[in-house]
Structure 1
Amino acid sequence: METEMLVGVIGLGSAVVGVGGTLLGGWLQQRHQAQTAREERAEARSVEAESRGRQTADKALSELYALRTHALTWKMGMSADERNEWLGRAYTMADAAELHTALVPGADTLSMRLRDALKVVRASFFQDAYEAEHEAYLSEFDTSHCIALLSAYMRGDSSLPEPTLREEREAIERDRQRDL
């Protein structure tokens, strides 16, 4: 082979290798950029979901504090209409707290635990209110435990507070009735 031909083949081979390297480098760079963009979008979604969850949990916590304050407005000797109005407002606040908690992203355990705790609160509306009509007694309608659950979630605690004895009794009773 003549020198000029050999130089031409080597030049062509170098050009092919150069183009191949450029194409491979461009493909690798594009792939890396796409992966980085996906990771950034996932991080942004995570931050947004956490922010939304915190805002929603904050709304639920506000409803629970309002419910606790409302519980203190109970008076012995209220008329039937006053009692019904009081109970209606209490139910509305409990429902709002449960709804907000259900909307917290990634907090299924919190939502389930708070739903169970609010069942006890709703049951205590009638039971404790009845007892308060007949004696000077009225609990906080167990809102403290609901507040503790949400507060633990918002602080980022590794676990939620244990169910109250009343919650456990109510859960056993519900399970027993369901089995019948």
Structure 2
Amino acid sequence: MRFVLRLLMMIAVALVVGFGLSYYALTDGRLFGAVQLGPWTAWPDIGSPQPNPYTRGHITREAALQLGQSEGLTFIANQDSDGAALDLRCSYRLDGRVPVSTFWTLEAIDPVTWANLSAPGTDAAMRSSEIVRVDNAMLIHVGTRLRPLNWLELTGTGPFSLVMTLYDTTALLGFSSSDTVMPSITSEGCS
């Protein structure tokens, strides 16, 4: 009888650990297939002809169209550089440089429905060709309150995610991947 109870307990533990790690790999995945650069996360194998099994599972779970590896790379941030979740009650500042790419876009989305959160009557995304640069560096304000220079105007309440898509980029490919940096996301205050 003891043997049967121990066997059932071992099977239960194996199932919980197995399903738990599988769920983690498909939802967060930073230990398995994703790359974390500050608050930004990307899956560099998404566009490859033979992605690893964790990336393949992530693609299936997200059910979103993905760019090919030679077309571009998408980075998603759900939190600021201090680790606090992005919230529409707050304003944020993106500082720094973007990895070398021909073109990039920045948009804010609802993390559950993937709906775009830009204010009505504004562009759905900010483009690299529209950015005013200060000393060749990028400075973008994101939020619902009016800000000077580059401002991605949002609407709504609750959490949100920032999505930066780099087109025709060498980020995370080859020799320069260790030098890849993404802009920092700093909170400028909440209402």
Q: TM-score, normalised by structure 2?
A: 0.28
Which structure has the greater CA radius of gyration?
A: 1
Question: Which has the larger strand fraction?
Answer: 2
Report 1 or 2 for greater relative contact order, CA contacts < 8 Å, sequence distance ≥ 6: 2
Q: TM-score, normalised by structure 1?
A: 0.30
